[in-house]
Amino acid sequence: MTHNFDVIGIGNAIVDVIFAASDQFLLDHSIAKSVMTLIDEVHAARLIAAAENPTESSGGSAANTMAGLASFGSQGWFIGKIKNDRLGDSFARDLARIGVHYDTPMAAGGPSTACCIIAVTPDGHRSMSTYLGACRELTPGDIDEKRITGDGVLYVEGYLWDDERSKAAIRKAIRAAKKSGRKIAFTCSDPFCVGRYRHEFLHLLAQDIDILFANEEEAKTLFGVTDFHAALQQARDWPGIAALTRSEKGCVVAAPDGEIHIREAEPVERVVDTTGAGDQFAAGFLHGFALGRDLGDCARFGGIAAAEVISHYGGRPQQSFAALARKAGFDPA
| Residue 123 maps to a domain | no
Strand order in the sheet with 153-157: 101-102, 76-79, 7-10, 153-157, 183-187, 211-215, 241-245, 251-255, 258-262
A 10 A CB-CB count for 173 gives 23
Instruction: Identify the helix (H) or strand (E) that includes residue 287.
Output: helix 277-291
| Residue 26 maps to a domain | no
| Residue 146 maps to a domain | yes
A 10 A CB-CB count for 86 gives 11
Query: At 323, which CATH number?
Result: 3.40.1190.20
| Residue 277 maps to a domain | yes
Examine the pLDDT at 99 and tell me if it is beyond 50.
yes
Q: Coil, strand, or helix at residue 168?
A: helix
Confidence at residue 264, expressed as pLDDT on a 0 to 100 scale = 80
Confidence at residue 2, expressed as pLDDT on a 0 to 100 scale = 53
Examine the pLDDT at 268 and tell me if it is beyond 90.
no
Taking phi over 0 as left and psi of -120 to 50 as alpha, with beta for the rest, 203 belongs to alpha
Q: Is 131 exposed, middle or buried (0-12, 13-18, 19+ CB in 10 A)?
A: buried
Please compute the mean of the pLDDT values over residues 122-126 and round it to a whole number.
Answer: 85
Q: What is the dihedral of CA 29, 33, 35, 40, to 10 degrees?
A: 0
**Separation between Cα atoms, residue 31 and residue 34, nearest integer Å:** 9
- Total number of domains constituting the chain: 1
HEC string for 27-90: HHCCCCCCCEEECCHHHHHHHHHHCCCCEEEEECHHHHHHHHHHHHCCCEEEECCCECCHHHHH
For residue range 72-95, list pLDDT tens digits in order.
Answer: 999 999 999 999 998 899 899 999
The residue range of the domain holding 318 is 7-13+61-111+133-327
| Residue 239 maps to a domain | yes
For residue range 238-267, list pLDDT tens digits in order.
Answer: 999 999 999 888 899 999 988 999 988 788
Please compute the mean of the pLDDT values over residues 114-119 and round it to a whole number.
Answer: 91
| Residue 321 maps to a domain | yes
Confidence at residue 1, expressed as pLDDT on a 0 to 100 scale = 43
| Residue 121 maps to a domain | no
**Separation between Cα atoms, residue 102 and residue 104, nearest integer Å:** 6
| Residue 175 maps to a domain | yes
